Every structure is written in structure tokens, then in C-alpha cells.
Amino acid sequence: MKSEQITIIALGVIALFLAGTLGFLFSERRGDDGSPKNFEFSTREIGAHNALTQKQTRIVKSAGEWADLWNDMFPNQMILSAINFNEKMLIAVFQGQKNTGGYSIEITSMKEFDDYIEVNVKEISPGEGCLVTEALSSPYHIVEVKKTNKEIRFNIRQETTECDYPN
């Protein structure tokens, strides 16, 4: 009877150990409070006008890709500055061409999980009654981050600005 109890206890301990180990291996990367860790970024470029007309995201990991992207955005301008692509990379979001002003796009936060990076993006559109410029716009935001081989996943949230201007 005693050996059966020891066997059951030993199997229970092994099961708990395996569950904890597997849980650690397959869990999201978490901070001290159990939430995913913030993934630091800094804005490299943000604006309302560039030559790209399609909504898109880009991940830039080399100087050649950076030169190509800059040339796509601003065909007649020299590239701003060099980036150390051994340590850094760029993440870019583009809202696409819009018929008026009042639109914007912004990377608001990034979270690091064990096997991917989540990029949270906010797209803002003007609501009815908003005063906007009557000119084409193509909003974009480019951020610099530490280089990673993890998958980049985009979480894009749309918001509409509410305006109550009298007619």
C-alpha cells in the first residue's frame, strides 16, 4: 500500500513538473506582472504625404530595402540617414492614398511574445462634419526597433474623429 502511494505522489510531481516546463516553453513572453513585455521603438518618420498609394505594412532589415522604400515614398529625395541594420530594423505602416486630409496612422505600442512581436496600429479617419483639407494625403509612420527574427503581426484598429461643426 505504501509503495502505491509513493508511486502516485511521484507521478503527480512529474506531471506538475512537465506541465510547468511545457507551459513555460509555449507561453507568451511576459513581464513580472504576467503581461506581454513592451517592445521598445522610436519614431523614425511620420507624415501625411508620400508617393505610396496603397495601404500596406513593411519590415525593413537591410540598407538596400531601406533605400528602396525611401525611393518608393520620395522618388526625388535623398535618403535621410543611415541605420545600423546589424542591430536595428524598421517597421512601417501606410494608410494608403486618401482624397482629403484628416487621416492619420500611428504605431501606438508593440508587445513581445515568445514567438512574435505584435504591432498595434491606430488608423484615424475624419467623421462627417469634420473640416479637412481638400488635398490628397497618404499618411505613414516608420519606427526603428532592435533587430529580431520573430514574426511581426499587425493589429490595426480604426477610429473615426467625431466633429460637430454647424452647417
Structure confidence by residue, pLDDT tens digits, 70-107 = 999 999 998 777 899 999 999 999 999 999 999 999 99
Average pLDDT over residues 23-50: 75
Nearest to 29 by CA among 126, 115, 107: 115
End-to-end, the C-alpha distance of the chain in Å comes to 88
Q: Would you call 81 helix, strand, or coil by DSSP?
A: coil
pLDDT at 163: 87
80 or 136, greater pLDDT:
136
Q: Are 42 and 143 in contact (CB under 8 A)?
A: yes
At CB < 8 A and 24+ separation, what contacts does 62-69 make? 66/90
Strands 151-161, 116-126: pairing kind: parallel
